[in-house]
Every structure is written in structure tokens, then in C-alpha cells.
Structure 1
Amino acid sequence: MKKLLIGIACLASLSAVAQNREIAFKEADWKTQLATAKKENKIIFFDAYTSWCGPCKMMAKDVFTKDNVADLFNQTFLNVKYDMEKGEGPVLKDKYEVSAYPTYLFINGDGEVVHKIVGGMSAPEFIAEAGKALKPETTTFGLAKKFNSGDHSQATAVAYLEALEKAYEADKMAAVAKVYFDELPKASLLEAANWELALKYLNNPAAQSFSYLYANKGELEKKYGADKVNMYFKNTMSSSVYSIKRAYTKKTDLKAAAEKATAIRKLLSTGTDYSKPLLAQLDLTEFAAANKWDKFVSKVDVVWGDEDFKNKAGFVIGAANDVVSSGPAQYYKHALRWADQIERNKPDLFANIQLADLRKRTLKKQGKTAEAEVMANKAQDLRKEAAQKGQMTPPMMKD
């Protein structure tokens, strides 16, 4: 009995220290890290994080400290991490187009990204993704090379689309999905297997395959349910409208953005319950890109006067922030005017926080620092009130 108790005590002791290893990160400037990776013939595991990112902290605490994770990464990769808001972080953020956190990049000694994943995940998932980074044929880079060389088989296309989804590369996924689904026989798109793949990956309204599905919406509704079908089309076109806005703002992929915009206008010409806000947002995006701010302001005024426009307060607040972010200073007064109009309609707490943030940003850009500080304090107080009530709060926008 005594031996048994001793044995149990030893097992408990071993269990307590079983998870005592963690990923070891090397500290050095980026140029040195690349040189080391090349010399040692290793792939760099690059943890792109921020100090405020919750999932980043979860991964560091619960996944990086697993012995099997630590052993794999410490033995296989050159592990580095950079805060994307400090030191070299902002430059590396732009260089590697990091837009969400955490982002995990696997980079060779030449500085090329061979694999990329975004977001928190379990230890087994993390290990599986790291394993893909070690096999050229399963990396995002390798799958891209294979697909772009003409291998458009379902196995290659789906693997590539899945990798792009995990890498948070919606625009690249849209381009690949367009090629793959447009090559399928049209009638086959209505079959269950292809429909399920379309639901997951076909996010491009400019694709002929998407137009075919939209034209056969009635048949899809009968086979798969109206709610599911309509939600797919609504979400796809909504996310595409904002990808168009992002493209115009960054001045990248403008041809693809224009193709999407033309397709959405054509598809929504018959009208749906979500046509009006999406078409209005397209108008504003194109006016802003062309510096036609008078037309931008007039369009927002039309929206505000439309009694049938859904969630127009949120739409107008978004438009006002766009004016403050990108418009000439003489148009800031319209942002404040719209804020006054919305406030007179007694908005909810969420919108009131947005209005306080909007006024703070506008006043600060106008050089009215004292008034901007008042609005900043008001926004802070409203956020505290929302927290006490257990209500969601809007994200804070940069000044």
C-alpha cells in the first residue's frame, strides 16, 4: 500500500511538471533573423501580435506552452515574434500585409512567405498547420504555384481555397474561386456537393458561376432552403462591397474591384431587401475614390431623407467617418451636421458611443483639442455605461 501511494505521488509530481516547456523566441532585428534562417536552412515561424489582442494572449498562454508544440517548433523552426505596433513591427506589418491578429507566418531565408494562418486555434490544429509549412506541396505558396500552373482539379483547388481561408486572404480566395467554379459545368453547380463548396468558398459576385447560381435562386431555395440560400447571397455581396471599398482605399486590385462592383449592380438591379444599402455604399465608395465629395455628401443626405432605408443611422455614421478619414477639411462640417441630425432622433447607446467617437475625431482634426477631449471623455463614460449593462460597444476608430 505504501509503495502504491508513493507511485501515485510520483505520477502526480510528473503531471505537475509535464507541461513545462514553451516555444523559445529568438530576439534580433529582422535582417539578422533572415540571415540566421538562411545560414541554418530553417523556416522562420513569425508570430505577428499586438499587446491588446486577446487571441494572441490565449495562444501564448495555452498553446505555445504545450510540450508537443514547444518541442516541434523549437526543434524545427527559427521562432521570432514582433509586436506590430512597436519597433520594427509597423514596417513588417506593411511588408507582409498583416491585417488581423494573431497572424502566423512561415517565412524562408529569402524573406518569402511560404505559409500563413490567422487566428487562435487548438494545439492539434496548430501542429497540423506547422506540418503543412514543412511540405512544399501543402503550403499556401506551394498550392498557389500548383494551381497557377494549371492544376485546377478539385483536390488542388479546394486545398488552396482552404489555405487561403485560413490565411484570411479573402480577395485571393475570390480570384481562385472564380477560376475554379467558372470552369465547372453550369448545371453541376446546383448539385449538393458543389453547392456546399460554393457556400464555403465562392465569394466573388463577378464570377459567372455566382451569376448562374443567383439566376437559379428559386431552384436553390427549393432544394436547400430559402433562408440558407438568401443568407449566402446577402453575405457574399455585403462582404464584396466592403472588399471593393478596401481595394479603392488601398489602391490595389482595382480592376477586380471594378468587376465586382459592375456585377453587384447588375445582380441587384431587380431589387432585394438589402439592395439599397449595398448600392448606396458602392456609390459612396466610388465618389470617395474619385474625390467627388459634393456627390458623396448629396448621396448621404438622400439616404438620411429616405424613410425606408434600413439602419440609416449606422450607415450615415460610417459615411461621416469616411469623410473625416479621407475627405478634405471643408467637408468635416457635414460629419458634425449628420451627427446632430442622428442625435435628434434619440439613437440607442451603441450609436451614441459612435457619435461621441465621431465628434472627437472630427473636432481633433479641426484643431479643437479641448472640445475633442470632452467628446473623448463622453465616449469613455458611455462605454463604461454599456459595460455595466452588459451591452456590446463599437470598436474605437483611430484619430
Structure 2
Amino acid sequence: MKNIILIFLLATFTIGSVAAQEINWVTLEQALELQKKTPKKIMVDMYTVWCGPCKMLDRNTFQNKDVAEYVNKNYYAVKFNAEGNEEVTFKGQKYTNPGYDPAKAKRRNSSHQLARLFQINAYPTIVYLDEKGELIAPIKGYQSPGQIELYLKMFASDDYKKLTTQEAFNEYYLAFKSSFKG
């Protein structure tokens, strides 16, 4: 009987650990350094600590096994507090948040210079950069696993380069078939 319980517990633990894959988050500087050895696009999650949809994105989308697996394989993933106090070097330039107020650390604060560089005015926004660190697009708002899949695959495959008009994107969008579960 003890052996059966032990096998059940081991099987449950193993299944649970396989299903709970996580995204390998790195800093922006680390992502840019990694690109030098192995070029990949970069996905930057621009979030704030007070943002409810940002927390939903973490919980519902970034914890999704299909999303995590695809992101880890095709992107360097960066999580960046767009109202935080982190000093970041991007393309030889230092970016800070000179208006940061430590008393507001858990609520709305001033916008980080890096967020302003990418013209972020809503949270969450996912910024996609190409293999050379050049901006592809900022995508605003919460996205479910099926919704983010479109952008992850479109940018990873370079299909976005062929979509030069709104009509071309609309056709791509309508033809896209999601395979991510959740």
C-alpha cells in the first residue's frame, strides 16, 4: 500500500512539474548580450506593479505551457517595470527614471525613460525587437495565449515584413489558426 501511495505521489509531482513550465526571463542587457552569440528576437513585457491586466498576463498567458515553450525557444524574454527605478543601458545610452518617487513604489509613478523611448502609454505593452535590437512593434493590452500566439509567430517567422498594409494584416489575422491551448 505504501508503494502505491509513493508511486501516486511521484507521478503527481512529475506531471505537475512538467506542466508548470516558465518563461526564462532575463534583463534587457543580458538579452542584447545573448543576441551576439545566438541571434533571436527579444520580447519585452512592459508592465507596472499596480496594473491588474499586467498581473493577468503573468498568470494566464505567461504561465501557459505553450506560450512559455514557444517564447523560450524563439525569443529572449525581458520583464521591465516601466515605472521602476532600474538603470538600463540600451544601444550605448543609459536610461533611468529621474522622476521616480520611492514613496510611490507600489502605485503609479513616473514613466521610465526606456518606456518613453518605446512610446509606451498603456500597460501592459509587449515590445518586440528584432535580432539587432531594433523595434518591430509595441503591442498594447492584455492578450490571452491564443491572442499572443499570433504576434509571437508572426514576428518570429518574419511574416510581419510581408504585411505592408492594414488589409494584408487583416487577411493574415483571419487566416491564422491558433494551436496554443488555453
TM-score relative to the length of structure 1: 0.33
Q: Aligned partners of 2:153, 2:173: CA distance in 1, in Å?
A: 18
Per-residue deviation, residues 107-126 of structure 1 (Å, max 9, x unmatched)? 01333222442222222332
1:41 matched to which residue of 2? 39
1:131 matched to which residue of 2? 153
Long gaps (5+) in structure 2: 87-95, 98-111, 175-182
Structure showing greater relative contact order (alpha-carbon pairs closer than 8 Å, 6 or more residues apart):
2
Return the match for 2:54 from 49, 53, 56: 56
1:105 matched to which residue of 2? 127
Offset at residue 142 of structure 1 (A): 4.3
Moved more, 51-60 or 104-113: 104-113
Offset at residue 4 of structure 1 (A): 8.4
SS in structure 1 of the partner of residue 149 of structure 2: helix
1:158 matched to which residue of 2? 170
1:23 matched to which residue of 2? 23
Percent of residue pairs bearing the same amino acid type:
25
2:66 matched to which residue of 1? 68
Q: Select the structure that is richer in helix.
A: 1
Offset at residue 129 of structure 1 (A): 2.4
Offset at residue 45 of structure 1 (A): 0.9
Q: Aligned partners of 1:46, 1:142: CA distance in 2, in Å?
A: 23
CA contact (8 A) 1:44 1:107 kept: yes
Q: What is the RMSD of the two structures over their aligned residues, measured on CA atoms?
A: 3.1
Q: Aligned partners of 2:52, 2:17: CA distance in 1, in Å?
A: 26
Q: Using a 3 Å threshold, how does the CA distance of structure 1 residues 26 and 9 change in structure 2: closer, same or farther?
A: closer
Q: Aligned partners of 1:161, 1:116: CA distance in 2, in Å?
A: 17
CA contact (8 A) 2:126 2:138 kept: yes
Aligned residues: 150
CA contact (8 A) 1:69 1:123 kept: yes
SS in structure 2 of the partner of residue 93 of structure 1: helix
Long gaps (5+) in structure 1: 163-399
Equivalent position amino acid for 1:122 in 2: S
CA contact (8 A) 1:23 1:73 kept: yes
Offset at residue 5 of structure 1 (A): 7.6
CA contact (8 A) 1:114 1:142 kept: no
Q: Do residues 117 (structure 1) and 172 (structure 2) align?
A: no
Q: Aligned partners of 2:137, 2:49: CA distance in 1, in Å?
A: 24
SS in structure 1 of the partner of residue 56 of structure 2: helix
CA contact (8 A) 1:46 1:81 kept: yes
SS in structure 2 of the partner of residue 158 of structure 1: helix
Offset at residue 16 of structure 1 (A): 3.1
Return the match for 2:114 from 92, 97, 106: 92
Q: Aligned partners of 1:161, 1:15: CA distance in 2, in Å?
A: 34
CA contact (8 A) 1:35 1:109 kept: no
Offset at residue 72 of structure 1 (A): 1.6
Q: Select the structure that is richer in strand.
A: 2
